[in-house]
Amino acid sequence: MSIRYSEDFKKEVVKAYMAGDRSIHQLAVEFNVAKSSVSKWANEYREECLYTTDTTSESNDAKEIRRLNQLLNEKDAKREYHKRLEHIFEL
């Protein structure tokens, strides 16, 4: 099942890429998309986003995805911590 992303979301990813402070891999993880999608979108929207690289006005979709990814990462870290504690107490 493929996920359809809005053009605004794709452009936000491209703008973040064009800012130059994060790699394609980092953006793929941050926005929870495939690296190939980031590359493809960069090629498609590069020229359109060339003069609008300001990423301060992120789309609501991008903000929500970033927020949810942070929550997932925190939950994964807590789960890993609890697994380690269980292992220690089993010893």
DSSP track, 20-69: SSS-HHHHHHHHT--HHHHHHHHHHHHHHHTT----SS--HHHHHHHHHH
Dihedrals φ, ψ of 35, to 5°? -60, -35
Identify the pLDDT of residue 8.
Answer: 85
Q: What whole-number distance in Å separates Cα of residue 5 and Cα of residue 23?
A: 20
pLDDT band at 79 (very low <50, low <70, confident <90, very high): very high
Contact 24, 39 (CB under 8 A): yes
| pTM, 2 dp | 0.56
Identify the pLDDT of residue 53.
Answer: 47
Find tokens 């992120």 and name the residue. Answer: 58
List, for residues 14-72, the tens digit of each pLDDT value.
888 888 888 999 999 988 899 999 999 988 887 777 665 454 455 677 777 777 888 88
- Amino acid letter for position 3: I
